[in-house]
Structure 1
Amino acid sequence: MTIKCKVKSIEPLACNTYQILLHPETPVTFKAGQYLMVEMGEKDKRPFSIASSPCRHEGELELHIGAAEHNAYALEVVEAMKKALAEDGDIDIDAPHGDAWVKEESERPLLLIAGGTGFSYVRSILDHCIAQSKSNPIYLYWGGKDERQLYAQSELLKIAASNDNVHFVPVVEEVPAGWSGKTGNVLQAISEDFDSLADYDIYIAGRFEMAGAARDLFTQNKQAKSDHMYADAYAFI
């Protein structure tokens, strides 16, 4: 279903990463963890996770888009958004999409895993769970090349401090001076912290190869159940 949107704002989150707020002409009903498609042409639709929660978005849709110069696929979308904002034009989207939304009826603890701007996917789930006062333990692991890519780190630390069931673990590959957190690969960090993932609902957003590696690693070594692992990538790999 094609929906016209106005671009309300574009703000930098980190180097080459942007927060974009869209205001659709008709409300979009979606579930936490779903995505939308930005229509760049009749046969050119590009997927981006919805970063906002369905119970808090007040009609707006929030996107976090990483658009480095080498990533024309995303950069062209950001440029189209900037043009629409400057000219008060429209952006067409197709929404909602995806089957990897949060399973609200589950009482199992949640493990949310994000690589880079895959954070937008888990952000929607985390915010929705908090808004719904879910008491399930929630562990959010966010991996990035360096600390600058973890642009919402201070926000997440505050959320964890004010919600006893929320635990945030940042993981960086390049270690800055004074860093006391975890380093290296985010999947390896999880493997070191959990003896078993048999009882967890696991939600993953990042590169397809990361989602595939997580499924292999956790089902083979950590007793995770593949039918309790959710990622948009699993519809394609």
Structure 2
Amino acid sequence: MTVRCKVKSIEPLASNTFRVLLHPETPVEFKAGQYLMVIMGEKDKRPFSIASSPCRHAGELELHIGAAEENAYALEVVNRMQEALNSDGEIAIDAPHGDAHLQQSERSLLLIAGGTGFSYVRSILDHCISQNINNSIHLYWGARTKSQLYAFEELIDLDVQHDNIHFVPVIENDERLWTGKKGNVLQAVMADFKDLSEYDIYIAGRFEMAGSAREQFIFNKKAKVEQIYSDAFAFL
């Protein structure tokens, strides 16, 4: 479904990472973990995860876009949205999309995000909290530096407030004051779990990360292919 949207706000979350709030002219119904396509041209539609929870988004759609200068694909979208914001114009989206949305299950959840892939798992996490879903939830978020974990304090608070939520941040760079897990986020998961057969696993990040995770988890951690979800799989 194509929908016109007002760009309500654009604000920085971290270096080269922006939170964008869109106000669609008609309500967009979606499931936690789905994505939308920003229409840049007739044959140019660019996907971004919806960071909002479907049950409490108040009619607005939230996106987290990583738009470094070398990433023209995303930077052009942010620039187009900034133009719309400045001119009180609109942008067009096509939504919703994606089969890797939250499933109804009694199993524990393993949420894995690399960088702004966090927007995908944020929608799932927030939906679980708002709906009082008490399944055990393990959230692993990997980034190059702590500053890129732009929701770090929020997630630490949720970890403290909810017995079923376990947040594990992982950074790649060796920062002297960092005492948490270091290195690759998949390596951290592999080290912490022996058996993933009873987990529903949701993954967002680079396509190669999702593909590697599926392979490693199935062959080394007893994960079941039908319980691993990522929109990247549709392109691999």
Is TM more than 0.5 here? yes
Specify the SS of the correspondent of 1:129. Answer: helix
> What corresponds to 2:14 in structure 1?
14
Tell me the secondary structure at the aligned position of residue 76 of structure 2. Answer: helix
Cα distance in 2 for partners of 1:194, 1:217 equals: 12
Letter in 2 for 1:21: L
Q: Distance in 2 between matches of 1:150 and 1:220?
A: 30
| CA shift for structure 1 position 236 | 1.5
User: How far apart in 2 are the matches of 1:152 and 1:173?
Assistant: 17
CA distance in 1, matches of 2:176, 2:126: 31
Q: CA deviation at 1:180?
A: 1.0
Give the structure 1 partner of residue 109 of structure 2.
110
Q: Which AA in structure 2 matches 1:174?
A: N
Pairs aligned (count): 236
Which residue does 2:138 correspond to in 1? 139
> What are the within-5 Å matches in structure 2 for residues 154-173 of structure 1?
154-173=153-172
Aligned equivalents of 2:125 and 2:75: distance in 1? 27
Look up the match of 1:152.
Answer: 151
Structure 2 match to 1:127: 126
Moved over 6 A (4+): none
Stretches of structure 2 lacking an aligned partner (at least 5 in a row): none
State the Cα deviation string for residues 212-233 of structure 1 (Å, max 9, x = none). 0000100000000011000001
The alpha carbon displacement at 1:175 in A equals 2.1
Q: In structure 2, the residue corresponding to 1:28 is in which secondary structure?
A: coil
Distance 1:53 1:197 in 2: 26
- State the Cα distance separating 1:177 from its structure 2 match: 2.1
**1:37 deviation in Å?**
0.2
- The CA distance in 1 between the partners of 2:178 and 2:71, in whole Å, is 29
Q: 3-state SS of the aligned residue for 2:216? A: helix
- Long gaps (5+) in structure 1: none
Secondary structure at the counterpart of residue 100 of structure 1:
coil
Q: Residues of 1 paired with 2:219 and 2:61: CA distance?
A: 37
Deviations 1:106-163 (A, max 9, x none): 0000000000000000000000000010110000000001111111100100111111
